Amino acid sequence: MRQLLYFELKKILDRKANQIALLLGLLLAVICNVMQIQGETLTVDGQELKGIEAILRQQEIENALTDELDEEFLTSFLREYQRQIASNPSGYNYSLIESKSNLFSLYAKNYTEWNEHFDWETLNKIPTEGGIAFYDRRMEKIETLLNADYSYGNYTEAEKQYWLEKAAAVSTPFPWGSRNTWSIIWNGIGMLCYQFLVVGLCIAPVFAGECQNRTDALLLTTKYGKNRAIFAKLLISFTFSVLYIALCGLVGMGINVALLGTEGWNLPIQLWDTLFPYEWTAAQACIMNLGVMLLITLLLTAFTLMLSAVSKNPVIVLAADILLFFGTAFLPSSKSSGLWNRIICLVPLHCSDLQNVLKTYNDYPFGNLVISHLGMMFLVYMFLTVICTLCADLGFILTKR
């Protein structure tokens, strides 16, 4: 069995097209993360900083503000900013905002309606007399989201209770620190969706390649052709795909940690958006996002193997992969069907954007039982992965007879 596994892995790694795709994929993972770092800019005292220098300088400025976002600090900090721009006709002063933009954007997002984009002028409209009630405003915003009137159906009482309990369980006041490093890491993990093309290209010939080489009939007549050989193909395909995506993710994270350090790993994800109802740290959110990418990889691999097992052309398999995993992102949502919208939310590219998943409060109710988007994603993807894998096993045997 060990020789079969080695032989199947060798076939994947020996293909020239696969070697090029793997190298380009790893290079893309490096470039994406380095470009994110180099793209950061900051102007301090008239001096423009770029890249690592800008990120580290902003970390110093933001870390010096406070250790905790209690109501007293939040009120006094915003009140001082409003005093400084009182005579500014534009309603805001970006030179005061830029170096502390993470905190100012947190204010603006929290006091902007859940279905609107924030702007800096919002900062000047927040009343500070008697305190700004930052955390009360957070819960009020979440309640407004849950109680809104939707054309495709409103939240049930069970759903509202589920989300309100989860959101209220988040510890307050939030600790504070610079989240820049983990913002880049989180965005870098989202970019792993481009690596799905590499996985599809490498896995598409696993069964279809046997047909192209006219070795499919010979394979099925060997002693272990219908069991161990097929099992080896399946096992190596899944192992290769998962390890490759994990490697790309770890390379991206490693670059950021090596250049910027790990500061901010224990900050709450609510520093990105107060709507997030989960009590996770930045590091936990990034690990979860990488886990979602691996879950999608499992389904992609199983789907590709199924098509490869019944097809004689790897190009057709790759085209179908692209259509399913990238084309479905363009499917429109419905203004009248909540069921259709819930289905759309489960397509791979929508699931890969964990930040959007966390703040949309999408769920799947079954009476009083409410399954979160993440929970349903896991159930559906694992079910489809098992079904596609079984179809790949049986399909190759039945269609090659």
Which residues make beta-bridge pairs with 41?
50
Nearest-angstrom CA–CA distance, 94 and 377 = 40
Q: Kindly indicate the confidence band of residue 218, based on its pLDDT and cuts at 50, 70 and 90.
A: very low
Q: How far is CA 364 from CA 164, 168, 293, 349, 374, in A?
A: 16, 20, 21, 19, 10
Nearest-angstrom CA–CA distance, 146 and 168 = 14
pLDDT at residue 212 greater than cutoff 70: no
* pLDDT value for 222: 53
- The pLDDT tens digits of the residues spanning 231-272 come to 888 999 999 999 999 999 999 999 999 999 999 999 999 999
Q: Hey, what are 40's tokens? A: 């950061």
- The pLDDT tens digits of the residues spanning 312-357 come to 788 888 898 888 878 887 888 888 898 999 999 999 988 998 999 9
Q: Hey, what are 346's tokens? A: 């489960």
Nearest-angstrom CA–CA distance, 172 and 164 = 15
Q: Kindly indicate the confidence band of residue 10, based on its pLDDT and cuts at 50, 70 and 90.
A: confident
Q: Kindly indicate the confidence band of residue 203, based on its pLDDT and cuts at 50, 70 and 90.
A: very high
Nearest-angstrom CA–CA distance, 293 and 245 = 8
- The pLDDT tens digits of the residues spanning 347-380 come to 998 899 899 999 899 999 998 899 999 999 999 9
Nearest-angstrom CA–CA distance, 15 and 361 = 44
Nearest-angstrom CA–CA distance, 12 and 205 = 9
Dihedral angle computed from the Cα positions of residues 322, 323, 329 and 331, in that order, rounded to the nearest 10 degrees: 170
| Pairing of the two strands 369-372 and 363-366 | antiparallel
Q: Domain residues of the chain, as ranges?
A: 2-38+177-399, 66-137
* pLDDT value for 400: 53
Nearest-angstrom CA–CA distance, 165 and 279 = 12
